[in-house]
Chains A and B, each alone.
Chain A
């Protein structure tokens, strides 16, 4: 983030009140993601840019939720805030019932590690490591002990994304779609409840893009994972449970 954030110093909504919307009476989490009055602004010199203007958003557990909108509308910024990577200048975000906007940097990192899997437009795999090793590294960071345990688990994850036969391939020997499947296996390493994806099909051909989206849908519907995806890709629209449209930092519609 090149520009400094503006502290608008508006009082945040009552956290307890917001949290209650994400937890039903029996204690089970109903809403995976709840954002209330989320605003974000950047300062560049004397100019202030308001990127998000009081966003309210709720996403149910197990849904595939798309964030769409024109370039510069604030989609990626909203995704970064909902993932606990950026902190909004105002507003609150609850993930799985926990308010992440009041967490410290270390607590946020730990929360992401335990609950969120990330998929990016580029796979960002370490080029010197094989597909298997890239997944193993994440497992080690997740705290999985024992080399053989990690190797076994990494193979299972690669098998889950139909990439076990490419386990010993370096990223440069994989196609764009295959690299993205390995990245999904890596994202699943910590068995996260939430998957945050930033245009995961943007760099893929039609077939690869379809494979990736199908896999994400399977994860949502069969494994109960909540998928929040920023995309411009119209091919994905039919697979989504809900779609939110952002424009000029405002949530224009949700369907």
Chain B
């Protein structure tokens, strides 16, 4: 049978298109904001998700992956001796200043790890180059999302961190956090060297009464360092590392192992992979206000959509008030009339949602490939936004339904 709702919708094509444009704007805004939030929060813990470690040992003061305090390398040796540990590897996080071959500078986050290890990089997807070359002095990997930022297009390109050279030996995918500076992956020794590259320190102490007061002064080195740079020095047990990644022996109870590690390593806290990923994502979502800001954008989108749909449905009902009045005079119940308008709202929701979602998915692919920004639209997100769209449109129909159910059927007798 003919659907009054559907036919009314297409009766006035320009008005229909205006309505759909409004709904598409609203749905796209909600989808993009939600997708950016999803992509953002997911990206902040991509490194953790891709690791093979069962447990992460970090500082007890750790706020999120990149905001924490160091521990001595000695802890790695201790961790390897804990019962139930199959493998333990160090992860060192430093900051530095990247200088590209063209001379531009960029803050970078330096991740040092054991290239021969199995717990951090085993699952990485290489776009070019390979992990084995990272053993050489002053070699680095980057994520493809940072290529333009660091002005490194392919393997063999170079730059500097502080005063030290950095030779690109590989490009990986899906490791970079949107929230963070560009990542530089390198060996532990290189990372340790890069962490203090470009700085000299001098420790001056003097006796004042019974106290010794010391001042550790750092100064920036000039860029014109000698070309013959010695390789980075081997790490000592007192060198600071940031995390210990632990693989448990098969069948090992992780909660038991967590307790044993925490007991052996004072000042630390042990997290499962899921726990540290969740802690990191929650930090970015909640403590930075990013979730609130993007959520606010979504709410604005919903409000815009509701206003547009309300106006269009209301004017459509006003245009057909005599026809609806006729149905009421004939004996149609308010439910029948409300059903017609609700169906119209549902059609508007579906026809606005589908092209919007296609647009947003396409936009997501483009932003990922062009800008390295992930707009993550999961099936759950897509279904959730469909629900929001339907609620938005049907909710907007309430004004129109109220108008038509209040209409006096006697109006049809007044020509």
- A interface, CB within 8 angstroms of B: 1, 76, 79-80, 83, 85-86, 106, 109-114, 116-118, 120-122, 124-130, 133, 136-138, 140-141, 147, 150-151, 187, 198-199, 202-203
CA distance A122 to B336 in the complex (A): 22
- Contact between B11 and A198, CB atoms less than 8 A apart: no
* CB-contact partner of B1 in A121, A125, A136, under 8 A: A136
Question: Of B140-148, B234-242, B407-415, which binds chain A?
Answer: B407-415
CA distance A128 to B7 in the complex (A): 6
B332 within 8 A of A: yes
* CB-contact partner of A112 in B1, B2, B329, B410, under 8 A: B329
The residue of chain B having its C-beta at the shortest distance from the C-beta of A202 within the complex is: B415
B160 within 8 A of A: no
| Contacts known (A76-B413, A85-B409, A199-B415); A111 close to B4, Cβ less than 8 A | no
- Contact between B330 and A113, CB atoms less than 8 A apart: yes
| Contacts known (A120-B413, A120-B415); A109 close to B323, Cβ less than 8 A | no
- Contact between A122 and B331, CB atoms less than 8 A apart: no
Cβ-Cβ contact count across A and B, 8 Å cutoff: 93
- Contact between B413 and A128, CB atoms less than 8 A apart: no
- B interface, CB within 8 angstroms of A: 1-2, 4, 7-8, 10-11, 320, 322-323, 325-333, 336, 408-410, 412-415
Contacts of B2 in A (CB 8 A): 129-130, 133, 136-137
Main secondary structure of the interface of B (DSSP, over half): helix
| Contacts known (A76-B413, A86-B410); A140 close to B1, Cβ less than 8 A | yes
The residue of chain A having its C-beta at the shortest distance from the C-beta of B10 within the complex is: A128
CA distance A136 to B323 in the complex (A): 14
The residue of chain A having its C-beta at the shortest distance from the C-beta of B334 within the complex is: A109
CA distance A141 to B409 in the complex (A): 16
Contacts of B8 in A (CB 8 A): 126, 128
Contacts of A129 in B (CB 8 A): 2, 4, 7
Contacts of A109 in B (CB 8 A): 328, 331-333
- The listed residue with most A CB atoms (<10 A of its CB), out of B10, B325, B328, B332, is B332
* CB-contact partner of A133 in B7, B11, B333, B409, under 8 A: B7
The residue of chain B having its C-beta at the shortest distance from the C-beta of A127 within the complex is: B11
CA distance A203 to B415 in the complex (A): 10
CA distance A18 to B328 in the complex (A): 28
- Contact between A141 and B410, CB atoms less than 8 A apart: no
Contacts of A79 in B (CB 8 A): 413
Q: How far is the CB of A27 from chain B (nearest CB, A)?
A: 25
CA distance A85 to B326 in the complex (A): 11
- Contact between A150 and B1, CB atoms less than 8 A apart: yes
The residue of chain B having its C-beta at the shortest distance from the C-beta of A151 within the complex is: B1
